[in-house]
Structure 1
Amino acid sequence: MQIVHAPHLPVRPEWLALRDEPVLEPSLAIVDAHHHLWDRQSGRYLADEFGKDVGSGHRVVSTVYVQCRSMLREQGPDAMKPVGEVEFANGIAAMFASGAYGPARCCDAIVGGADLTLGAELDAVLDAMRQVSGGRLRGIRNPLAWHASPDVSSSPVTPPRDLMANPTFRQGVRTLGRYGLSLDAWVYHTQLDELYELARATEDVTIVIDHFGGPLGVGPHARQRAEVHAEWQRKLVRLAGLPNTRMKLGGAGMNVFGFDFATRELPPSSEELAAAWRPYFETCVELFGADRCMFESNFPVDKGMFSYRVLWNAFKRLASAMSADEKAALFSRTAASTYRLAIPGDNT
């Protein structure tokens, strides 16, 4: 796999501070179904930074840490190096479990990054990850997002083009089923047919589709939003027909979605974000149902475009017409059931 510079937007705290809003529905319980933590040349986002975002007003009760190549082991076999990331995330989880960072139980579920093409070696890696996870390991994610255009890039790692069709990779996904683990999949809308074939071939494994299923708005897809939406929706219909699929609603702060909010003088309001994302939200909920959809922050990646408080206000605006039960599913219950998390208290 080719590793390039991360194509994420820079986080500008002074710019983000130009937009503040009162928190909507502050008692609504939230499980942030997808975030990262790292300490890189591009910036530091660890317990202190994430804790401030989580504690900025919304009632975040739990979060799901997702693979991003943080704190890989420096020494040892390459296959075992990602064990370090699970160990790291579990350490952060222990910090939050102490209560010293507030009531949220951050990193209470961990999606690691074991290489699913390892074949017979995979069991040893998953066993090691499980041992250092404090019982929090819930899934695995491998880089899958691929596009022929160099103008479409959302990750520092570019996978092989046909990885999802690789028999060894598919066997690795089936191995996850034996361990009771799910597969998180970040792919572009151009790859959704390949993801459908993978999900159909691994029906005993829950496939969690990240970031709205990646409807692109850059490169050859720039200024083609209606055409992209039609293609994206058509492909999602097939995926939604498979009972082992789930959808994460978020990630639209990445450059590849094609929104220009980061170039404006002021950060976007939650009303602006909700209006931009409503076509994706409504299609996903219509196809998958609220009980198979979950909101995610994708922080700190998306923090280059909006703040944590404004983001969750935007999600609450999107769900404003939903019933209390549907809101509970979107904001906490689907993530909790998918990643086997306990939600304290009620969801109202």
Structure 2
Amino acid sequence: MTNLHPYPQLHAGRDEPILDAELAIIDSAHHLFDRPALRYMFEDYLTDVRAGHRIVASIFVETLAFSRSDGPELLRPLGEVEFANGIGAMSASGAYGDCRICAGIIGNADLRFGDQVGELLDQALARAPERFRGVRQITIEDESDAPFRYVTNRPARGIMKHPKFRAGFREVVARGLTFDAAVFHHQLDEIARLADAFPDGSIVLNHVGQAMAMDLDAQGRADVFKKLRASLRELGRRPNITCKIGGLGLPFWGFGFEKRADPVGYLELAAAWKPYVEAAIEAFGPERCMMESNYPPDGRAAGFVPLWNALKHIVRDASADEKAALFRRTAARVYRLSVQD
């Protein structure tokens, strides 16, 4: 039986015991939006935060939600930055608990505007000086149309090869901001070239490099994993790249959990995700990896409680110092957060 809810596991597993309950977590990527298919706003994320895991802060990442509907196209992403900054201010009041939701903000920017992007970045910094930490521009591409049925805003092809892209990227680097890179595994060589061209730039690889293995058999998925692992090792040689571990609930990986109507527990998730998590940590080391919920999109395959339980279970043999880096310290350093444990 196939569950027709767009995120069938969104509320699953809240009765699971919380593993390592005292471990402080900075959720390095989540989203808030209000769309016809799903509404996931402050109160929804707050409910998940209160489900048992010790989330002390979170990083809001753009989805082009709440962008301005008019005005210069370059500046329309400011609407989402202003929205997230308001949520951050609400959370910082302490009225909703100890977790600092939207403590960091990753906004959207179309780097094809070249050096004009500087105006957008300066205005975002002016509007959210305590929280605006960088930008993301989704650049996923694939020969198949299959993955894009799960994407709200399909990006144009060839964005990173656009003649003005690097001029826009230079504006990000000049302000000490991060660039969150969202690609598929077969595009990781482009991220390597970008990192080499801007050794002072901070690039955060989203979702373990996002293997595109939909609709493949076991051998096909194994071949994709082999290529992904090799690419991660190559990227790991570049000290200006860090890696977010998460996004494993997305359909692209080919695990098939999004087709399940019954709750998926953390042990099953951990068994499927373990090779990919270990490949990222092997390539970058704990000090350059950060855990993420990628909620609510990962709710397609994993409940919030099982998701974090699975990530904790996979690294259960790591030292306390390594766990601190994976779950909190790397995100705090990269996104310049001052968060109390």
**TM interval, short-chain normalised:** over 0.9
Alignment map for 1:315-326 (pairs within 5 Å)? 315-326=311-322
Whole-Å separation in 1 of the counterparts to 2:252 and 2:7: 17
Cα distance, 1:223 vs. partner? 5.3
Runs of 4+ in 1 over 2 A off after TM superposition: 15-20, 152-162, 219-223, 262-265
Between the aligned partners of 1:262 and 1:159, the Cα distance in structure 2 is: 23
Alignment partner of 2:189 out of 178, 188, 193: 193
C-alpha distance in structure 1 between counterparts of 2:154 and 2:11, whole Å:
30
Taking a change above 3 Å as real, the CA distance of residues 237 and 221 of structure 1, as seen in their structure-2 partners, is farther
Distance 1:75 1:55 in 2: 37
1:50 aligned to which of 32, 45, 48:
45
Contact persistence 2:25–2:327 (CA under 8 A): yes
**Structure 2 partner of 1:170:** 166
Instruction: Confirm or deny: 8 A CA contact 1:9 1:305 kept in the other structure.
Output: no
How much does 1:287 deviate?
A: 1.0
Give structure 1 stretches of 5+ with no counterpart: 1-7
Give the alignment partner of residue 309 of structure 1, picking from 278, 283, 305.
305
Post-superposition offset of 1:55: 1.1
One of 7, 11, 24 as aligned partner of 1:11: 7
2:331 is matched with which residue?
335
Q: Percent identity?
A: 43
Q: 2:75 aligns with which of 70, 73, 80?
A: 80
Between the aligned partners of 1:12 and 1:265, the Cα distance in structure 2 is: 7
Is residue 2:269 matched to residue 1:256? Answer: no
Residue 202 of structure 2 aligns with which residue?
206
Q: Which residue of 36, 55, 61 maps to 1:60?
A: 55
Pairing partner for 2:211 from 208, 215, 221 = 215
Aligned counterparts of 1:78 and 1:68: Cα–Cα separation in 2: 16
Partner of 2:124: 129
Tell me the residue number matched to 1:4. Answer: none
The structural deviation recorded for 1:238 is 1.5
Q: Who is 2:155 aligned against?
A: 159
Quote how far apart the aligned CAs of 1:95 are.
1.1
Counterpart CA distance in 2 for 1:106 and 1:9 is: 26
Query: Which is worse superposed, 102-111 or 72-81?
Result: 72-81
> What is the one-letter code of the residue matched to 1:177?
V
State the shift of 1:167 in Å.
3.5
Contact 2:8 2:258 in 1 (8 A): no
Counterpart residue number, 1:300 = 296
Helix, strand or coil for the counterpart of 1:158? Answer: coil
1:16 deviates by: 3.6
Alpha-carbon distance in structure 2 between the residues aligned to 1:74 and 1:24: 43
Report the equivalent of 2:271.
275
**Mapped partners of 2:331, 2:207: distance in 1:** 14
What is the DSSP-based 3-state SS (H/G/I as helix, E as strand, rest coil) of the residue aligned with 1:276?
Answer: helix
1:296-321 CA-to-partner distances (Å, cap 9, x unmatched) read 00001111222111111111101101
SS at match of 1:95: helix
Provide the C-alpha distance between the structure 2 equivalents of 1:214 and 1:298, rounded to a whole number of angstroms: 12
RMSD: 1.8
* One of 118, 135, 138 as aligned partner of 2:133: 138
Relative to the length of structure 1, the TM-score reads: 0.92
Q: Does structure 1 conserve the Cα–Cα contact (< 8 Å) formed by 2:8 and 2:261? A: no
Which of the numbers 13, 19, 28 marks the counterpart of 1:24? 19
Tell me the secondary structure at the aligned position of residue 63 of structure 1: strand
Unaligned runs of 5+ in 2: none
SS in 1 for 2:69: coil
Q: CA deviation at 1:219?
A: 4.3
Q: Structure 1 CA distance, aligned partners of 2:216 and 2:166? A: 30
Alpha-carbon distance in 1 for matches of 2:258, 2:77 = 32
Structure 1 residue 265 displacement after superposition: 4.1
Question: What SS class does the counterpart of residue 322 from structure 1 fall into?
Answer: coil
Provide the C-alpha distance between the structure 1 equivalents of 2:5 and 2:198, rounded to a whole number of angstroms.
35
- The amino acid that maps onto 1:111 is I
**Any idea what the Cα deviations from partners look like across 1:55-110, whole Å, max 9, x if unmatched?**
11011000000010010112211111100010000011111111122110010000
Letter in 1 for 2:313: R
The equivalent of 1:3 in structure 2 is none
Aligned to 2:237: 241
| Structure 1 position 159, deviation (Å) | 2.7
1:92 alignment counterpart: 87
Query: Partner amino acid for 1:202?
Result: F
Give the TM-score, by structure 2 length: 0.94
SS in 2 for 1:142: strand
Indicate if the aligned counterparts of 1:182 and 1:205 stay in contact, CA closer than 8 A: yes
SS in 2 for 1:64: strand
Letter in 2 for 1:297: S
Q: Distance in 2 between matches of 1:137 and 1:216?
A: 30
